């Protein structure tokens, strides 16, 4: 039974890779409205794999995924999930594909049916809200790692997703940009899952923390 305030919920979710073996072993998890859940755990524990399963980028070996009020099994059903769950990939180079920053950030809104002018306006506003005004005409592949990280976040936020799935969002950010990111995320209304090895970010941001160890998800007392 999925709770009424659940946005995304998994039950008995299991996954294994050939050679690596089991990474997720009958995991149960629910993301509710208003939550900012930190997903922690050692390198290679399966945190990224877990987020990929939530949005259908991988198919579980067993278990169920519920998202936005419906069970999701096949690719067609996950298309809506990916439109509503903004995914910030661990590596910004997997996410940036347009020549300029403005085009990249406007791509999502355009794809969601906004006019070109509306999409460009949303992109400019989103960049400004992240302290990235002035980057509009920069060439994406020439940006630094930290700049790319902020631009990918802008691309995700410009689509106004219902949920955010953030894979190590503070990677490559300097102290100022990192704090700006934390302050920005704190002000957002969306529920989110945040994979992070950054203990201070987790302390500042998370409303609860779950840790993936040996394929099991363990609730942390905070
Ligand atoms: N395509 C693949 N084939 C085989 N093994 C894989 C594949 N992708 C990931 N793995 C392995 O599965 C495990 C989980 O990987 P995953 O990236 O989900 O871990 P993670 O917890 O996000 O790690 P990190 O904190 O280092 O980013 C790792 O041991 C990884 O080497």
For the segment 186-199, what is each residue's pLDDT rounded down to a tens digit?
Answer: 999 999 999 999 99
From the CA of 22, how far away is ligand 1's center (Å)? 11
Q: Which domain holds residue 154?
A: 6-220
- Cα 113 from chain centroid (whole Å): 22
Nearest CA to ligand 1 atom 29: 44
Instruction: Using the mean position of ligand 1's atoms as its centre, give its distance from the Cα of residue 111 in Å.
Output: 30
134 Cβ contact partners less than 8 Å away, ≥ 6 residues apart: none
1 inside domain: no
Cβ neighbours of 98 (radius 10 Å): 14
How buried is residue 56: exposed, middle or buried, by Cβ count under 10 Å (0-12/13-18/19+)?
buried
Q: How far is CA 176 from CA 73, 105, 117, in A?
A: 41, 22, 32
Task: Tell me whether residue 83 is in a domain.
Answer: yes
This model of the complex carries an ipTM of 0.98
**What is the tally of structural domains in the chain?**
1
* 177/15: higher pLDDT: 15
Contact 85, 8 (CB under 8 A): yes
Q: Does a structural domain hold residue 70? A: yes
What tens digit of pLDDT does each residue of 129-152 get? 888 999 999 999 999 998 999 999
Instruction: Evaluate: CB of 46 within 6 angstroms of ligand 1.
Output: yes
Q: How far is the CA of 108 from the centre of ligand 1 (A)?
A: 28
- Confirm whether 163 is domain-assigned: yes
* Residue 155 placed within a domain: yes
pLDDT tens digits, one per residue of 26-39: 999 999 999 999 99
Q: What is the CATH number of the domain that holds 107?
A: 3.40.50.300
Q: Region 164-187: what's the mean pLDDT? A: 92
């Amino acid at each position: 039974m999925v709770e009424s305030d659940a946005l995304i919920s998994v039950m008995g979710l299991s996954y294994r890779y050939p050679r690596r073996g089991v990474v997720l072993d009958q995991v149960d998890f629910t993301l509710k409205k208003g939550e900012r859940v930190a997903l922690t755990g050692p390198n290679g524990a399966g945190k990224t794999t877990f987020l990929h399963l939530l949005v259908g980028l991988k198919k579980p070996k067993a278990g169920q995924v519920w998202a936005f009020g419906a069970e999701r099994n096949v690719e067609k059903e996950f298309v809506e999930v990916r439109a509503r769950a903004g995914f910030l990939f661990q590596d910004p180079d997997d996410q940036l594909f347009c020549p300029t920053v403005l085009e990249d950030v406007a791509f999502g809104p355009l794809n969601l049916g906004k006019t070109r002018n509306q999409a460009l306006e949303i992109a400019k506003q989103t960049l400004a809200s992240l302290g990235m005004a002035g980057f509009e005409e920069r060439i994406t592949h020439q940006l630094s790692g930290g700049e790319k990280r902020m631009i990918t976040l802008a691309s995700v936020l410009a689509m106004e997703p219902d949920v955010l799935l953030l894979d190590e969002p503070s990677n490559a950010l300097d102290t100022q940009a990192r704090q700006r990111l934390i302050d920005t995320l704190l002000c957002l209304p969306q529920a989110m899952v945040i994979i992070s090895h950054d203990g201070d970010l987790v302390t500042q941001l998370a409303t609860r923390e779950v840790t993936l160890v040996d394929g099991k998800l363990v609730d942390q007392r905070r």
